[in-house]
C-alpha cells in the first residue's frame, strides 16, 4: 500500500474509540452469522453440510442448538448467542514499512502495511503497571508496530489491500505480550525454586512472587486464545469497517517466501491450522495486487505450487 492510502484510512476511521468484544467461540458465532445472513435463514442440516459446518461443533454453538427448538436458524437467532465470559479490546491503527524497507520489513510487496492493533482493557493495564511501574508497551515498543496511544497491546495484524479489487491480504498476526510474559513467568518460577526474591525484566527489578502471579493471570486469560482474538478482530475489521470483498491469508510456504523469512519463521500452525479453524478455503489464486506485482512475482517463482487461503464477503 501507499502511505497516502493508510493516511486516508486514518482520516476515515479516527476520532472515535473502537471497542471489539470477544468471548470463547465468538469467531464461530460471527462466521455463522455472515454465512446465514446470505440466505436470511438456513436449516440446521444445510448448515452442517456447508463450508462452515464444523463450527456447529463449538461448545457455545452446540449449547445454542440444543436450546433452540427449531429446525431453521436465522442471523437474528445467532445474534442472541453471547457468553458472560467476554473481554473488551480497544482497536487502534498503525502502519509498518514503506517502499525502501522491502528488503527487511517482511511485506509481500514494496510499500506499507496497515496495522490493526488489539489492545487490552484498562483493568489489565492497571495490573501490569502495578508490577512494572510503567506501561508495558514502553518496554516492548522497539521495532514492532504496537500501539503508541494504548498501554498494553495484546497483538497486531498487518494488512495489505487494494480498494479497486476489494481484496485484502492478512500479512501476519503476532503477539509480543504473551511471548514476553510466558518467558518472564518461566524465569521467575525457576529463580523462585532457587530462593531468589527478585527478578530483572528489561532492566526493571521485580518482586518474584508478584511477577509470577501477574504473568499467570494474563497468560491464563489470553495465552490459548490470543490468535483467535486477533484473527476474529481482523476479519470483522476487514469486512465491516473497510468493506472489503475478499480476505486472503498466507499459507506457510507463501508467507516464508514472499516475506523473506529466512531466520525467524512464525509458528507453522498460524498459517495452517488457524485459517482452517476459521473455515478459510484453499486456493491457488492469490490476491491480484500481489500476483501482478513484479517484485512479489520474482519471489513467488521460488514456490513450486502457490497456495493461499481465502474468505469471501
Q: Is the pLDDT of residue 294 over 80?
A: yes
Domain finish residue from 79, 104, 122:
79
73 and 101 part of one domain: no
Q: Are 244 and 276 members of one domain?
A: yes
User: With a threshold of 0.85, does the pTM exceed it?
Assistant: yes
How far apart CA 311 and CA 313 sit, in angstroms, is 7
For the chain, how many structural domains are there in total?
2
Rounded mean pLDDT of 248-264?
90
- Co-location of 40 and 135 in the same domain: no
Considering the domain architecture, whether residues 15 and 35 belong to the same structural domain is answered as: no
Based on the domain organization, do 72 and 102 belong to the same domain? no
- Percent pLDDT > 70 in the chain is 99
Cβ neighbours of residue 228 closer than 8 Å, sequence gap 6 or more: 22, 26, 27, 277
d(CA 202, CA 193): 21
pLDDT tens digits, 147-196: 999 999 999 999 999 999 999 999 999 999 999 999 999 999 999 999 99
Residues 38 and 137 in one domain: no
Q: Are 32 and 175 within one domain?
A: no
CATH number for the domain spanning 113: value is 3.40.630.30
Do residues 60 and 18 both lie within one domain?
A: no
The residue range of the domain holding 112 is 3-23+86-181+221-312
- Does residue 15 sit within a domain? yes
Q: Quick one: 225 and 263 in the same domain?
A: yes
Task: Say how far residue 25 (Cα) sits from the centre of its chain.
Answer: 15
Amino acid at each position: 500500500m501507499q502511505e497516502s492510502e493508510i493516511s486516508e484510512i486514518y482520516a476515515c476511521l479516527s476520532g472515535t474509540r473502537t471497542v471489539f468484544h470477544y468471548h470463547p467461540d465468538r469467531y464461530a458465532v460471527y462466521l455463522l452469522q455472515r454465512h446465514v445472513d446470505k440466505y436470511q435463514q438456513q436449516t440446521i442440516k444445510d448448515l452442517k453440510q456447508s463450508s462452515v459446518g464444523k463450527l456447529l461443533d463449538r461448545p457455545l454453538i452446540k449449547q445454542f442448538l440444543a436450546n433452540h427448538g427449531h429446525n431453521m436458524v436465522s442471523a437474528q437467532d445467532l445474534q442472541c448467542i453471547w457468553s458472560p465470559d467476554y473481554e473488551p479490546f480497544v482497536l487502534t491503527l498503525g502502519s509498518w514499512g514503506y517502499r525502501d524497507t522491502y528488503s527487511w520489513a517482511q511485506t509481500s510487496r514494496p510499500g506499507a502495511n496497515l496495522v490493526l492493533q488489539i489492545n487490552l482493557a484498562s483493568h489489565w493495564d492497571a495490573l501490569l503497571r502495578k508490577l512494572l511501574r510503567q506501561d508495558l508497551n514502553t518496554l516492548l515498543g522497539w521495532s514492532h508496530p504496537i500501539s503508541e496511544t494504548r498501554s498494553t497491546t495484546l497483538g497486531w495484524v498487518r494488512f495489505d489491500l487494494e480498494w479497486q479489487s476489494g481484496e485484502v491480504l492478512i500479512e501476519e498476526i503476532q503477539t509480543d505480550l504473551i511471548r514476553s510474559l510466558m518467558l518472564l513467568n518461566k524465569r521467575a518460577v525457576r529463580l523462585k525454586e532457587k530462593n531468589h526474591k527478585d527478578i530483572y525484566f528489561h532492566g526493571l527489578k521485580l518482586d518474584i512472587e508478584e511477577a509470577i502471579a501477574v504473568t499467570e493471570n494474563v497468560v491464563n486469560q489470553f495465552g490459548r486464545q490470543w490468535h483467535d482474538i486477533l484473527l476474529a478482530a481482523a476479519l470483522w475489521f476487514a469486512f465491516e469497517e473497510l468493506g472489503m470483498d475478499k480476505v486472503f491469508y498466507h499459507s506457510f510456504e507463501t508467507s516464508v517466501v514472499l516475506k523473506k523469512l529466512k531466520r525467524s519463521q512464525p509458528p507453522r500452525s498460524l498459517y495452517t491450522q488457524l485459517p482452517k479453524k476459521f473455515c478459510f478455503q484453499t486456493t491457488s489464486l492469490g490476491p491480484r495486487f500481489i500476483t501482478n506485482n513484479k517484485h512479489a512475482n520474482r519471489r513467488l517463482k521460488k514456490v513450486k505450487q502457490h497456495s493461499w487461503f481465502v474468505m469471501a464477503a
